[in-house]
């Protein structure tokens, strides 16, 4: 059985993506949870990954780190796992926006860190110009997907796909920080919040005992000790 190494549910968005992918694919797995930024975090994670970050997938004597590599690896072995849309055009689009998420939106990731338990009425004008631009880009991206493919279902490309997994934690951040978005984007956020698996993850996050003060206190990212995913 696969093992996944994840961090705190409350704070770790990349852990959530891989957990959601396996859960929604109904692939059984065991979980190893290592809370982030404790004194022993780096030593403990180094036992599993040379990259020093989570998530990590352990598949027998094979180790895979980085969420995209994990999803690709698992999909090679499970053809029914959550994947890409049917049509070539939608698939190209879904791959593009997923890669855009995986490699970008750094200001959003820094300035709006995942914190599922928290609620902030954030004034977006307090965010950096690049963070505001990235929020607008995400809103436009979701709106475009919903307008083009929304007739086929409630997800970004109609049917549930890897693109929804990539953006699910972003939808949850927009709830945490009360970020206003278009009606189409709001429908996507509500679809994510309505998932049983997501609610299950959030319920477990609520009862975690650890607190990461620089995230809970919304310390400006330039003063934060580390960049989160």
Ligand X SMILES: N[C@@H](CCC(=O)N[C@@H](CS)C(=O)NCC(=O)O)C(=O)O
Site for ligand X, rule CB under 6 A = 7, 12-15, 36, 53-55, 66-68, 102, 226-229
Tell me how far apart the alpha carbons of residues 115 and 211 are, in angstroms, rounded to a whole number.
10
The distance of closest approach from Cβ of residue 203 to ligand X in the complex, given in angstroms and rounded to an integer, is: 19
Structure tokens at 107: 């200001």
Residue with Cβ nearer ligand X (75 or 184): 75
Residue with Cβ nearer ligand X (115 or 143): 115
- Are the beta carbons of 103 and 95 closer than 8 angstroms? no
Residue with Cβ nearer ligand X (9 or 146): 9
**Taking phi first (over 0 means left), then psi (-120 to 50 degrees means alpha), and beta for anything else, what does residue 105 get?**
left
The helix (H) or strand (E) run that includes residue 29 is: strand 29-33
Give CA separation, 59 vs 13, 117, 125, 204, in Å. Answer: 21, 31, 45, 25
Indicate the residue whose CB is closest to ligand X.
229
Residue with Cβ nearer ligand X (12 or 143): 12
Residue with Cβ nearer ligand X (55 or 158): 55
Kindly report the length of the chain: 229
Residue with Cβ nearer ligand X (65 or 149): 65
The distance of closest approach from Cβ of residue 36 to ligand X in the complex, given in angstroms and rounded to an integer, is: 6
The distance of closest approach from Cβ of residue 212 to ligand X in the complex, given in angstroms and rounded to an integer, is: 11
The distance of closest approach from Cβ of residue 147 to ligand X in the complex, given in angstroms and rounded to an integer, is: 28
Tell me how far apart the alpha carbons of residues 83 and 166 are, in angstroms, rounded to a whole number.
12
- Are the beta carbons of 3 and 32 closer than 8 angstroms? yes
The distance of closest approach from Cβ of residue 150 to ligand X in the complex, given in angstroms and rounded to an integer, is: 27
What's the burial of 132, exposed, middle or buried (CB within 10 Å: 0-12/13-18/19+)? Answer: middle
The distance of closest approach from Cβ of residue 55 to ligand X in the complex, given in angstroms and rounded to an integer, is: 6
What DSSP character marks residue 81?
A: S
- Are the beta carbons of 167 and 129 closer than 8 angstroms? no
């Amino acid at each position: 059985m696969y093992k996944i190494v994840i961090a705190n549910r409350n704070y770790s968005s990349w852990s959530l993506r891989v957990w959601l992918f396996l859960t929604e694919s109904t692939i059984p797995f065991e979980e190893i949870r290592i809370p982030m930024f404790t004194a022993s975090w780096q030593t403990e994670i180094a036992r599993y990954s040379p990259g020093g970050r989570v998530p990590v997938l352990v598949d027998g004597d094979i180790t895979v780190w980085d969420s995209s590599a994990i999803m690709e690896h698992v999909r090679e072995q499970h053809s029914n796992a959550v994947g890409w849309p049917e049509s070539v055009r939608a698939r190209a689009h879904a791959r593009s926006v997923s890669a855009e998420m995986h490699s970008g939106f750094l200001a959003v990731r820094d300035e709006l860190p995942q914190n599922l338990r928290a609620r902030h009425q954030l004034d977006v004008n307090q965010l950096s110009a690049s963070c505001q631009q990235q929020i607008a880009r995400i809103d436009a991206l979701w709106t475009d997907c919903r307008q083009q493919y929304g007739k086929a279902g409630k997800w970004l490309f109609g049917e549930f796909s890897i693109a929804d997994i990539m953006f699910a934690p972003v939808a949850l951040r927009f709830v945490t920080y009360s970020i206003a978005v278009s009606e189409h984007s709001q429908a996507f956020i509500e679809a994510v919040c309505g998932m049983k698996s997501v609610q299950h993850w959030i319920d477990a996050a609520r009862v975690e005992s650890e607190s990461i003060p620089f995230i809970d206190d919304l310390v400006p990212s330039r003063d934060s000790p580390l960049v989160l995913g």
